[in-house]
Amino acid sequence: MQTSNNSGWRRLGVLILVAILARGLTIGNPIVHVDEEFYLVVARAMSHGALPFVDIWDRKPIGLFLIYLPAAALPLPWAIYGYQAIAFASAVGTAWIIARLADRAGWRVGGTAGATSYLLWLSTLGGVGGQAPVFFNLAMAAAGLLIIDADGRRRRLRGVAAMMLVGVALQIKYSVVFEGLYFGLWLLAMDWRLARSTLALVAYGAAMVAVALIPTAAAWAFYASAGQSDAFIFANFTSILARNPDPLTETLGNAATLMLILSPLIAMAAGSRGRSCGGDRFARLFLGLWLGAALAGLAVFGSYFDHYGLPVLVPGCACAAGFLGTPQLRRQSLAILTTIAVAGLITTLINRANRGTPRQFAALAGAIGRGSGCLYVYSGSTMLYAATGRCMLSHYVFPSHLGRQRENGAIGVDQAGEVRRILAAGPAIVVMRPPYRGERTDIRALVMSEITQHFRTRARVRLGNETISVYARR
């Protein structure tokens, strides 16, 4: 027992060290990714009494913003360190569970390597910071471990607990519904195999559905009690279906890039077949089908941004442990992990160069300055609201919601009408990045017309591969 405990602590130590090396370059960086910048801004607004979907709009579930809330209550830069620490712990915790999944499947020798590959692969898919999957992967991995262990007299209790974790993950991002459906079907199939009781199966299925919906139902009930049921339903469900598709060339390009990054993982997962050393064959079957469900969910979801592939990493890296732990392939496994690490490092450096450095961001925030006048980030980093402390003039803070063609007709207000209202409210500072793909050119022309008449150029600041323009009211 003592040896087993020591082995577990050594494994955890290895994972923490790998996570530090993989994520070290982003620690304290306020502009790791536009998404997490916005999540922190929303959480900071919540800490001052704002209600998501009503006072500040987005379509992510409220659970994601609640994760950011403890860090958001801190002043900058501690808020940055805070949310990144939560993401770090989530990544390490998920990796540790991946190793446990591999152990149960009979891939113990490669368990630590599979878990390590998860931490390294995060960097290649935009998961080096606080993207939503970094958090919900922990809940889904824990649910998967409960399901693998769901045998004997407590199998139904474990199954219900697993679906409760799926419900928590749903309130971080609804895209986990595909994997959640697979979990539920697997549990029902295993229960039927062991009990073959129709009545018990129906009751078990109803209990799992109920607990999976509890977190979402609780969030809806809260908004309904505040008289905002319609706002909750629109933001969380209706608006998702109302978005316009991305251009076909962009979609195909994103899909090709994503599959290029994931294909080695899928190949290693496939290569694990027949390489187990004992373990549970149903655990191996469960993990393989889980990988298929995650890939199916990715295919159905659509846009294929890099971070959309992050959920595939949990079952994929657990399955890849069988390949990475093969005694005859130890040198090759080390080479593979080294290659993933190098690819992740290169990706992180490229993203840093493209998006900008903390020093560049500080210069941009300094050019805007603090003051009583409100800020309007037409396009650019929403973190500027937090960095300057300036007020917002709209519920629609994320720039793409008002400026991107994909969101036209999908946010509950007319984009041009809301932009006109913001400009009429008299922002003291307007921030604009150069034109970008997918932008509504008529909206940009509308803003530029106002700037030409009533604003002067205060500064042009380099941020990554773009020059950001700062305009001050005359």
Does 148 have pLDDT greater than 90? yes
Q: Using an 8 Å Cβ cutoff, are 170 and 176 in contact?
A: yes
The Cα-based distances of 74 to 39, 62, 162 in angstroms read: 14, 19, 33
Beta bridge partners of 460: 469
Q: What is the mean pLDDT of the chain?
A: 94
Does 370 have pLDDT greater than 70? yes
Task: Identify the pLDDT of residue 203.
Answer: 96
Task: Identify the pLDDT of residue 274.
Answer: 75
- Rounded distance between C-alpha atoms, residue 84 and residue 29, angstroms: 9
| pLDDT tens readout for residues 178-212 | 999 999 999 999 999 888 889 999 999 999 999 99
| pLDDT tens readout for residues 420-439 | 999 999 999 999 999 999 99
Rounded-to-10 torsion of CA 261, 267, 270, 274: -140
Q: Using an 8 Å Cβ cutoff, are 118 and 11 in contact?
A: no
Q: Can you list the alpha helix ranges (DSSP code H) found in 302-429?
A: 313-324, 330-355, 358-368, 383-388, 399-403, 415-424
Does 1 have pLDDT greater than 60? no
Does 37 have pLDDT greater than 90? yes
Task: Identify the pLDDT of residue 2.
Answer: 47
Task: Identify the pLDDT of residue 136.
Answer: 98
Q: What is the mean pLDDT of residues 115-129?
A: 97
- Rounded distance between C-alpha atoms, residue 463 and residue 333, angstroms: 38
- Closest by CA position to 355, among listed 469, 252, 471, 468: 468
3-state secondary structure of 228: coil
Does an H or E element contain 470, and which? Answer: strand 466-473
Encoding tokens for residue 442? 């008529």
Domains of the chain by residue range: 2-353, 358-473
Does 5 have pLDDT greater than 70? no
Residue type, 210: A
